[in-house]
Structure 1
Amino acid sequence: MAPPWSRRALSRLGVSMRDGVPPPVNAPTYDAVVLWYDEIATAVNEAVRSCAWRRLLGDRAVEARFTSRAKTVDTLTQKLVRHPAMPLADVQDIAGVRFEAEMTIAEQDLVVDEMVRLFEPCVAAVKDLREDAHSGYRAVHLWLRPPAGRVEVQVRTHVQAHAKGVS
């Protein structure tokens, strides 16, 4: 299902957030947007949880961590200020899901391959940030673009999660 607002209306909200002014009447509220994206993140998280990870990771799958969230207003505003030309509708990680487990790099690749199969044809890109971390996040990022809205899924090993104090 598509969101109840247009890309243009979402972008108007983003401009108001970036500029620190109240949103125009014809834009959704931040609360409505965060609720929408939180529900998307929860649904993607549930889909990820439902996979048979034990097949790939053995007993270590029991210890896997699955988290989801929508970006906070402060974090999202900071991103829009850093990237003033980026419309809010193009922010890939308003909804985020993280899969973290004790696994090797080869196993991480298998997990990513399984997620690509799970979410195709919604996978827009796979970004391997294991060597060149972005904002401290060493992981493989899957960018999903289902009709409901964009979602970023991070697949991290425990070692990647705890490198440089990032958790």
Structure 2
Amino acid sequence: MIIREATPEDWPAIWPFFQTIVAAGETFPYPLDMAPELGREWWMKTAPDRTVVAVDDDGRITGTATMNSNRPGNGSHVASASYMVDPAHHGRGTGRALVEYSLDWARRAGFRAMQFNAVVANNHHAVKLYRSLGFEIVGTVPEAFHHPVDGYVGLHVMHRPL
């Protein structure tokens, strides 16, 4: 697998799994019926922020990540990131590779820490992955996410120093 900068030409390959993940309503607080144009606008970041794709040996895009400053101004020394892995490729290390890549990017860019502002509390796979990579839950906002199956669940704020 390689991870590389996403290009506008990658969007048609990202959109199908992006839309599947968003429409499921289980992990991202995006509109469930998000149009492709809005998805592209929100996901395909421009410098100094970054969007990357994970590409398998057959040239298929299996996942994607965005990386950016968590806040502007006096909060700009903390990075943030978001990840999506094509459900057809779960369990093959794509998510871990994307998180590790984003941590390396943040270190190289001079960030002091990385923070995730809204990890759905019952997204156990993501929480386990992030914890295995040194993130800690520093707080949970109760009932801040309306999960389609589990109802109102918490959103974790997760953090790790770099």
Please report the TM-score for the alignment, with normalisation by the length of structure 2.
0.31
Larger strand percent: 2
Greater relative contact order, per chain length (Cα 8 Å cut-off, separation 6+): 1
Please report the TM-score for the alignment, with normalisation by the length of structure 1.
0.30
Larger helix percent: 1
